[in-house]
A = this chain, B = another copy of it.
Amino acid sequence: MDDLNRRIVGLLLRDGRATFQEIGAAVGLSAPAVKRRVDLMRARGEISGFAAIVDPHALGWDIEAYIEIFCRGNVSPAELQRELGGIPEVVGVATITGDADAIVHVMAASMAGIEESVERIRSTGRVERTRTSVVMSRLIDRPVRPRGGA
């Protein structure tokens, strides 16, 4: 990816609804040129999509937790993705090194919602044990930025 694309991505990270014209004016390109670059980046998977950034509180999600999961036998990442992807409260999943097999980030409306999510995760079958850490206060949550400037 060249520097021009990095600048375009930087702008789209800050405003995903910026017009191609605006972006073009900012980076010194015409709108069609910007569109072609963005289309290419989407086709290559560098940009996987666009989304609204929503205040979790507005959705009624007042509590969040990290749930480490320990599985029996082998866990296929694809399987985990399929099983957990269907739970809307699950906002993040990653397989990790260390004693746990994966870490799951969930949001919920109440402690009961967290418990329910844990139950659903456990009931997927392969999960042997979970360890839940409820978030007391979120201190930092930044969007990921391009390395070396935007």
B-contacting residues of A (Cβ < 8 Å)?
Answer: 1, 6, 9, 12-17, 41, 44-56, 58-61, 64-66, 77, 80-81, 84-85, 88, 90-98, 100, 102-103, 107, 109, 131-150
Task: Name the residue on B nearest A90 (C-beta).
Answer: B140
Whole-angstrom CA separation of A55 from B47 in the bound complex: 6
Q: For residue A114, give the distance in angstroms from its CB to the closest CB of chain B.
A: 11
Q: For residue A131, give the distance in angstroms from its CB to the closest CB of chain B.
A: 7
Out of B41, B47, B139, B143, which one reaches A95, CB within 8 Å?
B139
Oligomer copy total = 2
Out of B53, B102, B131, B132, which one reaches A48, CB within 8 Å?
B53
Q: Which residues of B sit under 8 angstroms from A41, Cβ to Cβ?
A: 58
Interface centre among A45, A51, A80 (most CB of B within 10 A): A51
Q: Which residues of B sit under 8 angstroms from A55, Cβ to Cβ?
A: 45-48, 146
Task: Name the residue on B nearest A81 (C-beta).
Answer: B139
CB-based contact B133/A98 at 8 Å = yes
Q: Which residues of B sit under 8 angstroms from A96, Cβ to Cβ?
A: 65-66, 133-136
